[in-house]
Amino acid sequence: MNKYLLPLLLTAGVAPLASAQQDFSLVQSAPTMDRWMYPFNFSSGSETSAATFGAISEPGFDDRDAQFLIGFDTPDGFPSGLDPNTYEITSLRVRAAVSTDLRFQYDPSADSVRNLYATSDPEYIADSDPGTPMEIYAAGYRNGQTVWTFNEGSPFSPFPAIPPQEGVRSVFPAVFDTMGIAIDVSRQVRQRFESTPMAFGITAAVAPGDWVPAGTTFDFNADLSNPATLAYVRQGLSDGRLRFVITTLAPATGGPGGGSGYYPAYYTKENATAIALGLTASLEIQGRVLPACDPDVNCDGSVNGFDIEAMEQAVNGDFANFCQNDADYNKDGAVNGFDVEAVEQGVNGAPCP
């Protein structure tokens, strides 16, 4: 059952009052949707477990071959529909439990993509510890699909799975460039680039290097200091839909569904054992909804040049004529000339930054 806590509840789509700030704790104990993203998964969203493994540099397959897509829709009453910059996020955790028993070794640390180059490659470096990390990424889309259209029953790709094809999955694990464009990391070994996930899977139940028993839960705590991650989460809260992709570069050794190999699989929301034991994937976000921007920063009831002057003074440390709680007017994490510029634009009738 999805649930949430919101000390001061707002109506979805209605901007908060300029003088109010609403703390929230969003807790969802099961996904709205989940899907084994594997080209030979012909049962769409009804799988009871989702294996994650790699097909490293195998022609016709993505390096990150089998992936686990998890989606959470915010519940009715949660304040979605607001300007993304009004969501200040202090923590985000996705928790997932593995369904495989003693199938892989726990690795909580980052590995280099160069660990997976051929040993004869001059750029190859050996992995310094056993195992391959479990990683979570934002979800990117292609083939005309979006967060609004792709669901558990949607095709993996509009292209046939046989013969296999690379780079065609409609939803993929993504990092973002400086323009905010989603870059697919599914083929990063053959494309030879490093990537940083939103989080690595961590647990206190086993020690690094230990074999992981079934039912072990892993926490993916998002690094919100990454501006792209923060922007993705903020947009998801505004949309009311958050999607994540759990993946690994742990290689399979062939055969249907990954064959043998040392890689994790996760309980899905369709798994009766997971439902009974509370082991379905879950989401927890802590944060607050910031006041909507109001260019009347000196609170004299008028929007004019005096507000620009008050913002300039606040940037220089003088808050005598500045009345709002947060001098970071444009919510970019800093108080500087860009805030003055944003207030000036607001005085001239521009919308919130």
Determine the average pLDDT of the residues in 250-278.
88
Q: Phi and psi (nearest 5°) for 151?
A: -135, -175
Confidence of residue 245 (pLDDT cuts 50, 70, 90): very high
Give the pLDDT score at 21: 66
Whether pLDDT at 237 is above 60: yes
Say yes or no to pLDDT of 9 above 50: no
Q: What are 284-305's pLDDT values in tens digits?
A: 999 999 766 788 899 998 999 9
pLDDT band at residue 8 under the 50/70/90 scheme = very low
pLDDT tens digits, residue range 204-214?
999 999 999 99
Lowest pLDDT segment from 5-9, 138-142, 229-233: 5-9
Read off the pLDDT of each residue in 34-47 and give the average, rounded to a whole number.
91
% of the chain at pLDDT higher than 70: 92
The pLDDT-based confidence of 258 (bands split at 50, 70, 90) is low
| pTM score of the predicted model | 0.82
Most confident of 186-190, 289-293, 324-328, 342-346: 186-190
pLDDT category at 4 given cuts 50, 70, 90 is: very low
Average pLDDT over residues 34-45: 91
Q: Where residue 185 falls among pLDDT bands split at 50, 70, 90?
A: very high
46: nearest Cα among 140, 151, 130: 151
Q: pLDDT above 90 covers what percent of the chain? A: 75
Residue extents of the structural domains in the chain:
2-289, 305-347
CA distances from 113 to 64, 132, 194 (A): 12, 11, 6
For residues 273-290, give the mean pLDDT.
Answer: 95
How confident is the model at residue 256, as a pLDDT?
61
Residue whose entry in the numeric block shows the structure tokens 């510890």: 129
Give the burial class of 345: count Cβ atoms within 10 A of its Cβ; 0-12 exposed, 13-18 middle, 19 or more buried: middle
Amino acid at 318: D
pLDDT band for position 343 (cuts 50, 70, 90): very high
CA 80 – CA 3 distance, rounded (Å): 15
C-alpha to C-alpha distance for 222 and 296, rounded to whole angstroms: 35
Tokens representing 51?
A: 């294996």
Between 45 and 306, the higher pLDDT residue: 306
Torsion (CA) 298, 303, 305, 310 in degrees, nearest 10: 20
Residue 19 banded pLDDT, cuts 50, 70, 90? very low
User: Does pLDDT of 227 surpass 70?
Assistant: yes
Mean pLDDT, rounded, of the chain: 90
The CA-CA-CA angle for residues 51, 54, 55, to 5°, reads: 125
Residue 161 pLDDT class (50, 70, 90 cuts):
confident
CA distance 180 to 32: 26
Note the pLDDT of residue 82. Answer: 87
If pLDDT is split at 50, 70 and 90, which confidence band does 259 have?
low
